[in-house]
């Protein structure tokens, strides 16, 4: 049979021929008579197989011949340069128009004395252009050497962009070269374009109008990668990252080729274009309207060089194809399978041929139709592949003739080739699987030479048809894995499990031993479960270590096995490795399928419960290295598969396997980091993501520690190469910082510290978001409870990072060097002029830092709280001049105020619990609130910050004052003192800068502090009512003598004593707090702070505290019980009298000063009347203390006998304490003028008479009282 006959045969005739040959190959049915001798029968059957092989071979040859006719059918040379050197539009005959590129070059000859020099210049320039159009590199070298152009990349790029006569094909080919200078020229060429404000379609047209993209995929990738960076640079808001522009650029080019190439039959629809571009914007979809409009623009208007617009119509398609590199681009379509559509089959043509077959099938005469469309082979294969598979399989299985088995294996190879190229997945897998089974690698004891030949055949299929195997790769790679397994068993080498018990260095030092099987005869080999499994023909994974004696194989079986293994010497390491090395020549779809299949095989090896293997894993690392130079679009798809695999195995329960896999990933990452990454790309981050995922999800301490070690080693050894990978690196360290294992925390922090100290500029060189990631990482370390030193050092590093951030280099890029110089916010005019766009971008990086430090102030560890507090306020104080008014508002509301409010809430809740349940009090829970030292430091820092930036943050005064008032009203005296000191300093520093309204805010806060806690305090005071105490001192003595017995046996009494102790303590603290408030109010009362509204507030404060003090001192039951309780508890009594005296004294002083300093305001507010009322109260309190009744009360009985009872010691002491207050009140009354005193004399005279009749503890009262009668009463009487 010949190929020509094959081309003119009907499908029906082919079916008849093949089925006939199948029957012949299978021989006569069992039991049937035949006239052929056995030898003739065998020969006849072998010839039938030979015919079948010829048929399938001729099909393949015809298919290959026709597929090579079109540029679009070059799958095997997918990644190679398929574009030949075409003639330029202007020709390449050595002539070119005048070069008018550089005015400065032409001006060199503008004043030339002769035309000869100009002519010589043009001739030399034309020579260089002509040389460039043949060999671009030599042309550029010539032009530079003759000084026609400058030697800088920018000058060469300008020449390529503007010179006429240059071949567009050669320009694209030159700029796509890998050489350093060509790459720099390409970068300069792209940088010369300004894409600002351009639509994406407009930009790519503008970019491609001056040259044709080369045919080699890697060259296209380099050019489009730089274009995407350039477009994103001018249009940063168009996409999430440059990756999106990169992928979309490829999609546009492929759409242009698909739409305007006549060789593409089935055009891409709009829905296909939108679907192909889903998820390209950092996992999100671009708007369908945007993609639809882009599709319409490309369909309506082809992207072409500017020179091609005037070219004849019949040249446009080929020119466009050369421009866009059809040979390399068509194979880049993501997700396209090698199916019928990929072959460009015309469905209508096929349907027409089928109808012709049906019409002619009923006619007797034979009519042959010659066809040229390879799709016709699908019909032939669909009817004849089954018989061919049966004939080859049966013959190969039954025959022992080397020539016959070789024919069968050739038939398998040709059938696999044709079905694979035609996209017949089921048929392809059937042929490949059959060959794989005939290798007998799963039962090596039965192997023969034909099985070894089958191994060679399957390796040949892998190498020759790798681009079309797709899922069939799994069968082939499984065979390669089994070959390597058998070789190791034959060598007697240790199993792969031994790799998991040695160090990585030892693993790398292991070298393969020479093939041979001397060790199988060693003692104990027969008990090797792996050998037993293979010899007995069972799966190795199904064997167990505990093989019983009855299952052991005999020495004869072992010898037979060794003999068969010797056959595998024909398959050397070179053949095995060649399949994997050849992977770099697979096209983009094939390499993805290859990697997926290898991952499946490796997973099966590693998941073996008894003896995991690493052969396929090591090959994965190898092929990843081989293919690392592929275009990034393809490499990203490869890595998506590998990433899932490494994560899955890295989380394996088998710790040894997981460790080995993570170390393999480390080796691969080390190699990948050597690749240069441009700005705004995300490849490194995606590559390192498996480390992050494993670090987050792994429950194994060893794996997490290994991940940290791997990342540390990679970063420190490749620090200058890391770009977008910093995000993943810092994410790993962030997870490590929260780890429970101290060793992991210390290891990660050691590396992070080195990065911050020595390589911080590298980390923030291209990725500004690294600042945010670094802040979050350090804050996590600061929160770590593993080691306080780590937390403190992390806080110190945060301070360092803040200083780096404040340097301004983060925002000041080439695009906005002038605009981003920060002006001090104190300069109002400068601040108003500044548009805050750059500063907004800049200050956004401060947010996680400041909020993180704010939260750290709540850490239960005192040292961490103090350190974070100090660093936070130092940062705000040192760098606050970078912040705007708006940002400062956010700082106070989100950073500063929450610090104090959280601790204030905790303190108040504790106090309330204690007030309502004194017996269950806990004054200070460890770590729950600040101690006095921390509180004092916090208040001091707050005041310093507010005073320093008062002009900017003065609107935050109410919040600041409220915080300080919260300190003051705290029942802990130390905190109250802290609040007083801080408020006094705030007022003194801002005294002349505060407005009356701002003073009002301060006074209102003090009033709230004075009044808010009184109701709760009075509730606490009522708990004393239920406490029973002895009635007198003698009974107390009895209680004291028997107290031990009572404390031991009477739980209620013991609880009462504890409650009494707490109440006494609370009374003392409450009095101290109220006195501190009086002190602050008194000190803050000066002319600058007084207005009518403020005086009313101050008067209310004095009045409330005085009335409260009097009420407290009027509690008869309390006054009765307190001395006894304090005696029992051996405590000093609360200074109730002192509290009352001081409150009235301060009130009296305030009114007297107000009358003296502000007479007009005093008159308006009738302060004089208030003064008289206060003096009346003071006198009445004093008289009540003496037990005297007023004259009004005695007027009913004119004759009353007064018996002067001697005063006790306690009363005398109280008189002594109250003397100064009474004296002050009398002096205040004596200071009134006669007319004023006359108005109040009716109220005052009875009190003054009672004072005359009373006994006094000091003669000072009588003297002042005498003065009042002489100076005030006397003049009135004399009138």
The catalytic site residues sit at 216
Q: What are phi and psi of 284, to 5 degrees?
A: -105, 160
Tokens 């101690």, residue located: 931
Burial (Cβ within 10 Å: 0-12, 13-18, ≥19) of residue 372: exposed
CA distance linking residue 318 with residue 302, whole number of Å: 13
CA 161 to chain centre: 41
CA distance to 117, 160, 202, 331, per residue, from 120 (Å): 5, 21, 40, 47
Q: Is the dihedral of CA 1114, 1115, 1117, 1120 positive or negative?
A: negative
Closest CA to 60 of 562, 424, 581, 478: 424
Tokens of 1051: 């739980």
Q: With the CA atoms of 172, 175, 176 and 180 taken in that order, what torsion angle do they form, in degrees rounded to the nearest 10?
A: 170
Residues forming a β-bridge with 281: 284
DSSP codes, 516-550: --GGGGSTTGGG-HHHHHHHTT--GGG--S---GG
Q: Is the dihedral of CA 949, 953, 958, 960 positive or negative?
A: negative
Tokens of 856: 């750290």
| Helix residue ranges, H only, 949-1089 | 950-953, 957-968, 973-989, 996-1012, 1014-1021, 1033-1041, 1043-1049, 1051-1084
**Cβ-contact 636, 683 below 8 angstroms:** yes
Q: What are phi and psi of 10, to 5 degrees?
A: -70, 155
**Cβ-contact 178, 676 below 8 angstroms:** no
CA angle 645, 647, 652 (to 5 degrees): 95
CA 588 to chain centre: 30
Tokens of 743: 């060793």
**CB atoms < 10 A from the CB of 267, how many?**
12
- Beta carbons within 8 Å of 644's beta carbon, 6+ residues apart: 599
Q: What are phi and psi of 236, to 5 degrees?
A: -65, -20
Q: Give the containing element (helix H, strand E) for 265.
A: none
**CB atoms < 10 A from the CB of 104, how many?**
8
**Cβ-contact 821, 827 below 8 angstroms:** no
Tokens 């880049």, residue located: 332
CA distance to 108, 805, 872, 954, per residue, from 878 (Å): 57, 12, 10, 18
In the chain, the largest separation of any two C-alpha atoms, in whole Å, equals 173
Indicate the DSSP class of residue 284: B
Closest CA to 418 of 771, 6, 130: 6
Give the burial string for 71-96 (b: 16+ CB within 10 Å, else e).
Answer: bbbbbbebbbbbbeeeebbbebeeeb
Indicate the DSSP class of residue 81: -
Tokens of 942: 């707050």
Burial (Cβ within 10 Å: 0-12, 13-18, ≥19) of residue 788: middle
**CB atoms < 10 A from the CB of 1077, how many?**
25
CA distance linking residue 396 with residue 435, whole number of Å: 10
For the chain, counts of helices (H) and of strands (E): 62, 0
Q: Is the dihedral of CA 917, 923, 927, 933 positive or negative?
A: positive
Tokens 């320039």, residue located: 125
């Amino acid at each position: 049979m010949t190929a020509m006959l094959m081309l003119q045969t009907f499908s029906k005739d082919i079916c008849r021929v093949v089925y006939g040959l199948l029957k012949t190959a299978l021989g006569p049915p069992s039991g049937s008579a035949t006239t052929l001798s056995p030898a003739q029968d065998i020969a006849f059957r072998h010839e039938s197989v030979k015919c079948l092989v010829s048929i399938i071979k001729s099909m393949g040859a015809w298919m290959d011949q026709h597929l090579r006719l079109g540029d679009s059918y070059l799958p095997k040379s997918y990644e190679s340069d398929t574009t030949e050197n075409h003639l330029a539009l202007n020709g390449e005959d050595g002539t070119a128009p005048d070069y008018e590129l550089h005015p400065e070059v032409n001006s060199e000859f503008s004043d030339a004395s002769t035309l000869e020099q100009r002519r010589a210049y043009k001739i030399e320039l034309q020579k260089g252009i002509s040389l460039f159009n043949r060999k671009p590199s030599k042309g550029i070298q010539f032009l530079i050497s003759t000084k026609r152009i400058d030697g800088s990349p920018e000058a060469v790029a300008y020449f390529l962009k503007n010179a006429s006569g240059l071949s567009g094909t050669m320009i694209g080919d030159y700029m796509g070269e890998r050489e350093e200078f060509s790459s720099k020229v390409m970068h300069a060429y792209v940088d010369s374009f300004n894409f600002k404000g351009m639509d994406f379609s407009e930009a790519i047209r503008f970019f491609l109008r001056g040259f044709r993209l080369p045919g080699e995929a890697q060259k296209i990738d380099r050019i489009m990668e730089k274009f995407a960076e350039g477009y994103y640079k001018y249009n940063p808001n168009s996409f999430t990252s440059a990756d999106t522009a990169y992928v979309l650029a490829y999609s546009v080019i492929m759409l242009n080729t698909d739409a305007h190439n006549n060789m593409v039959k089935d055009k891409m629809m709009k829905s296909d274009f939108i679907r192909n571009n889903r998820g390209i914007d950092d996992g999100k979809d671009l708007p369908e309207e945007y993609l639809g409009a882009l599709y319409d623009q490309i369909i309506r208007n082809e992207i072409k060089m500017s020179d091609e617009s005037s070219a004849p119509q019949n040249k446009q398609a080929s020119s466009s194809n050369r421009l866009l590199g059809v040979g390399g681009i068509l194979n880049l379509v993501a997700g396209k399978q090698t199916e019928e559509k990929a072959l460009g089959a015309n469905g209508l043509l096929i349907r027409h041929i089928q109808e012709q077959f049906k019409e002619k099938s009923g006619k007797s005469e034979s009519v042959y139709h010659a066809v040229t469309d390879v799709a016709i082979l699908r019909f032939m294969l669909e009817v004849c592949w089954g018989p061919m598979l049966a004939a080859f399989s049966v013959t190969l299985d039954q025959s022992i003739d080397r020539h016959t088995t070789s024919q069968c294996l050739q038939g398998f190879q040709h059938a696999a080739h044709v079905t694979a190229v035609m996209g017949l997945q089921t048929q392809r897998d059937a042929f490949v699987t059959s060959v794989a089974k005939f290798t007998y690698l799963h039962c090596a004891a039965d192997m023969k030479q034909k099985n070894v030949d089958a191994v060679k055949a399957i390796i040949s299929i892998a190498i020759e048809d790798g681009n079309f195997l797709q899922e069939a790769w799994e069968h082939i790679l499984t065979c390669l894995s089994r070959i390597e397994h058998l070789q190791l068993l034959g060598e007697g080498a240790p199993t792969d499990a031994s790799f998991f018990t040695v160090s990585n260095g030892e693993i790398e030092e292991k070298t393969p031993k020479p093939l041979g099987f001397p060790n199988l005869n060693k003692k104990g080999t027969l008990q090797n479960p792996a050998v037993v499994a293979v010899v007995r023909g069972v799966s190795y994974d199904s064997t167990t270590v505990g093989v019983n004696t009855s299952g052991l194989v005999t020495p004869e079986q072992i010898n037979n096995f060794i003999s068969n293994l010797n056959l595998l010497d024909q398959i050397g390491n070179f053949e095995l490795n060649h399949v994997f090395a050849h992977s770099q020549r697979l096209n983009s779809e094939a390499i993805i399928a290859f990697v997926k299949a290898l991952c499946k095989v490796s997973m099966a090896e590693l998941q073996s419960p008894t003896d995991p293997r690493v052969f396929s894993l090591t090959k994965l690392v190898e092929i990843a290295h081989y293919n690392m130079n592929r275009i990034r679009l393809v490499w990203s798809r490869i890595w998506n598969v590998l990433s899932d695999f490494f994560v899955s195995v890295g989380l394996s329960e088998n710790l040894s396997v997981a460790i080995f896999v993570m170390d393999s990933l480390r080796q691969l990452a080390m190699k990948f980091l050597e690749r240069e990454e441009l700005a705004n790309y995300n490849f490194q981050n995606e590559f390192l993501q498996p480390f992050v995922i494993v670090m987050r999800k792994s429950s194994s301490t060893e794996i997490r520690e290994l991940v940290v070690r791997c990342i540390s080693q990679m970063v420190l050894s490749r620090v200058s190469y890391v770009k977008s990978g910093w995000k993943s690196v810092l994410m790993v360290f962030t997870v490590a910082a929260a780890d429970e294992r101290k060793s992991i925390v210390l290891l990660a922090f050691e590396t992070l510290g080195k990065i911050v100290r020595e390589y911080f500029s590298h980390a923030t060189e291209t990725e500004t978001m690294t600042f945010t990631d670094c802040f979050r990482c350090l804050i996590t370390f600061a929160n770590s409870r593993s080691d306080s030193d780590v937390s403190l050092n992390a806080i110190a590093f945060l301070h360092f990072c803040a200083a780096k951030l404040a340097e301004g280099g983060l925002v000041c890029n080439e695009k906005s060097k002038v605009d981003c110089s920060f002006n001090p916010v104190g300069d109002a005019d400068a601040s108003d002029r500044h548009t805050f766009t750059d500063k907004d971008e800049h200050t956004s990086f401060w947010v996680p830092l400041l909020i993180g430090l704010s939260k750290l102030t709540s850490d239960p560890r005192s040292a961490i709280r103090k350190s974070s507090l100090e660093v936070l306020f130092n940062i705000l104080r040192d760098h606050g001049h970078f912040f705007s008014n708006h940002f400062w508002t956010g700082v106070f509301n989100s950073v500063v105020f929450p610090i104090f409010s959280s601790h204030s809430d905790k303190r108040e809740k504790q106090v309330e619990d204690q007030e309502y349940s004194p017996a269950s009090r806990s004054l200070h829970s460890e770590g729950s609130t600040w101690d006095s030292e921390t509180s004092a430091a916090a208040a001091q820092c707050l005041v310093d910050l507010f005073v320093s930036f008062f002009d900017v943050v003065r609107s935050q005064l109410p919040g600041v004052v409220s915080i300080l008032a919260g300190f003051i009203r705290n029942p802990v005296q130390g905190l109250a003192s802290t609040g007083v000191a801080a408020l006094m300093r705030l007022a003194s520093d801002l005294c002349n800068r505060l407005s009356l309204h701002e003073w009002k805010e301060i006074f209102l806060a003090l009033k709230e502090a004075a009044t808010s806690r009184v109701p709760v305090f009075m509730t606490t005071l009522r708990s004393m009512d239920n406490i029973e105490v002895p009635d007198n001192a003698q009974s107390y003595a009895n209680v004291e003598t028997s107290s031990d017995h009572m404390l031991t046996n009477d739980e209620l009494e013991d609880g009462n004593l504890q409650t009494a102790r707490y109440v006494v303590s609370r009374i003392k603290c409450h009095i101290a707090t109220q006195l501190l408030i009086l002190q602050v109010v008194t000190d803050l009362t000066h002319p600058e702070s007084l207005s009518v509204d403020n005086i009313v507030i101050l008067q209310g404060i004095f009045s409330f505290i005085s009335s409260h003090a009097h009420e407290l001192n009027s509690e008869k039951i309390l006054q009765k019980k307190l001395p006894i309780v304090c005696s029992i508890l051996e405590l000093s009594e609360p200074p109730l009298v002192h509290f009352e005296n001081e409150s009235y004294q301060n009130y009296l002083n305030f009114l007297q000063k107000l009358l003296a300093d502000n007479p007009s305001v005093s008159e308006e507010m009738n302060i004089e009347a208030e003064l008289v009322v206060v003096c009346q109260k003071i006198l009445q309190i004093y008289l009540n203390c003496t037990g005297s009744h007023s004259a009004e009360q005695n007027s009913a009985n004119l004759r009353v006998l007064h018996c002067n009872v001697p005063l006790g010691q306690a009363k005398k002491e109280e008189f002594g304490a109250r003397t100064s207050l009474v004296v002050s009140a009398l002096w205040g009354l004596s200071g009134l003028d006669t007319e004023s005193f006359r108005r109040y004399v009716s109220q005052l005279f009875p009190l003054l008479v009672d004072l005359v009749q009373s006994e006094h503890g000091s003669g000072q009262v009588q003297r002042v009282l005498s003065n009042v009668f002489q100076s005030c009463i006397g003049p009135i009487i004399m009138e």
